[in-house]
Amino acid sequence: MSAATSNAPRVRDDADHEPPVLEHAGSLADLTDELLDKVVRPPRWMGPALLVTFLGTLMLFAAIAYTVTTGIGVWGNNIPVAWAFGITNFVWWIGIGHAGTFISAFLLLLEQRWRASINRFAEAMTLFAVMQAALFPLLHLGRPWFFYWLIPYPSTMKIWPQFRSALTWDVAAVMTYFTVSLLFWYLGLVPDLAVMRDRAPGLLRRRVYALFALGWKGSVHDWHRWRIGYGLLGGIATPLVVSVHSIVSSDFAIANLPGWHSLIFPPYFVAGAIYSGFAMVLTLMIPARRLYRIEHIITTRHLDSMAKMLLVTGWIVLYSYAVEAWSAWYSGDRYEAYTNLVMRPFGPYALVYWVVITCNCVTPQLFWWRRARRSALALWVASLFIQVGMWAERFMLIVTSQSRDFLPSSWGLYRPTSVDVALLSGTVFFFLFLFLLFLRFVPFIPIAEVKELKHGLEREREPEEQVHA
């Protein structure tokens, strides 16, 4: 490549030291078959991995059944800490979902090429994370079979939901987010399902994929409409990314508790969400690219770009922590100051606070170094730290404020029960189970988009070849 570019005018300054977005020397047909092969011939570890995560999922459903049949008294929540693991898990999971929409929508609008190979992956992660998230408020209702009371429908009780309450905003935000993410993901998937329909071995498999491909034929008219519709969906989903966690943060910000009643919450939550989401994409992507041997499609360039995103969002999070502490002191409000400056760093949950600072503020500083940004191992370990840190951050925000508010007589501590722990770990298994099913049955690297990318890259490299005629 260096020989080819040496005479040509430089397109970009950093072309020399930026790793390529795609390293594939074969034809478009080879590329397609290679990507299809990953789906139709699953690796040997797939069966055992599915089994383990399925067993974990069974544990989750057992914990859910126990909770629903007995009541949420089996959780550690009580007064004063009425929101604990359930809401922490909800905020954490839905935050993780954000990176998917960010990668597919934001980066689509910004025409970032490196998104092409990983967007489907990230979108699937979003869908599955939002599914885990939605479980918790449902269970937290106590009587989840009445969840439809949150939706405005003309009921015989002649009452309506209260739209000035954050709970109804959450319902609208989460349901919209899930639906739009699903539509976006599926619309991008349709042409690739058509590839599966045409190339997958076995009649049954072809028939099933044909049903899901909806009869896609790939005419220029279809592609024209698809391209504009897909771009538009990206544009619509972009403000949605920002809105969902802003609304979630309003659950806290509109309350009066010290440590919750804060204007910085919406941007602070959104930055944290994208931060943890990128970490989750890395946690899943790094082993997958290694195990599926697709390092030439998800390249070092992707790792490098994602690490930079971690660094940026990590700094926004760090800045938010600083502003939160500073305004707690500057407000002159003794309760705010106590919660933010004494209770959190030195109170009974001090350990959680220092885990947050270590994982979220110290870890990403590693990515100032290029070597760390391009090391899959360093990134993977860091991504785990960041996820632990982001979970701990939500726990800290939610639990400390409730456990010590205005009156010392109403203070109290929270301890999780085994059911709490089973639900949290169970959703991790369920999430991984769904994700493995996705890897097993769906073309997880966008075939049409990567082909378009390859074609575009080749044209840039050899501009003289297509000028004739």
Partner 1 sequence: MREVVVAELDSPERVVQAARSVRALGYRRVEAFVPFPIPELDAVLGIRRTRLPYLVLLAGFAGAALALLIQWWTNAIDYPINVGARPLNSLPTDMLIVFESTVLLSAGMAFATVLLGSRLPRLHDPIFDLPGFERTSLDRYWIVIGDAYDTDSTVLDEALGLLDGELARLGAVVTRARIGEQAP
Interface residues toward partner 1, by CB under 8 A: 27-29, 32-33, 152, 158-164, 168-169, 172-173, 175-176, 179-180, 183-184, 186-187, 190-191, 194-195, 197-199, 210-211, 214-230, 232-233, 236-237, 239-240, 243, 247, 250, 448-449, 451-452, 455, 465-466, 469
Nearest distance from C-beta of residue 351 to partner 1, angstroms: 35
Task: Considering the complex, state which of residue 224 and residue 290 has its C-beta at the smaller distance from partner 1.
Answer: 224
Nearer to partner 1, 180 or 280 (CB): 180
Residues 6+ apart with CB under 8 A from 415: 76
DSSP H/E element including 433: helix 418-441
Radius of gyration, alpha carbons of the chain: 24
DSSP, collapsed to helix, strand or coil, labels residue 334 as helix
Task: State how far the Cα of 111 lies from the Cα of 255, in Å rounded to an integer.
Answer: 39
Task: Please state the φ and ψ torsions of residue 347, each to the nearest 5 degrees.
Answer: -80, -160
We find the least distance from the C-beta atom of residue 390 to partner 1, in angstroms, to be 24
Rounded to an integer, what distance in angstroms lies between the CA atom of residue 35 and that of residue 222? 23
Q: CA-CA distance, 108 to 119, in Å (whole number)? A: 9
Minimum CB–partner distance for residue 255 and partner 1 (Å): 14
Residue type, 430: F
3-class DSSP state for residue 214?
coil
Q: Of the two residues 73 and 152, which places its CB atom closer to partner 1 in the complex?
A: 152
Q: Which is nearer to partner 1, 230 or 441 (CB)?
A: 230
How far is residue 177's CA from residue 98's CA, in Å, rounded to a whole number?
10
State in angstroms the smallest separation of the CB of 181 from partner 1.
Answer: 9
Least spacing, CB of residue 469 vs partner 1, in Å = 5
**What's the length of the chain?**
469
Closest distance to partner 1 from the beta carbon of 241 (Å)? 11
DSSP annotation of 20: P
Q: In angstroms, what is the minimal distance from the CB of 207 to partner 1?
A: 10
CA 167, CA 44: separation in Å to the nearest integer?
A: 45
Cβ closer to partner 1: 197 or 289?
A: 197
Q: Are 77 and 414 in contact (CB under 8 A)?
A: yes
Q: Which is nearer to partner 1, 404 or 451 (CB)?
A: 451
How far is Cα 29 from Cα 354, in angstroms, rounded to an integer?
A: 52
Residue number with CB closer to partner 1 (295 or 452)? 452
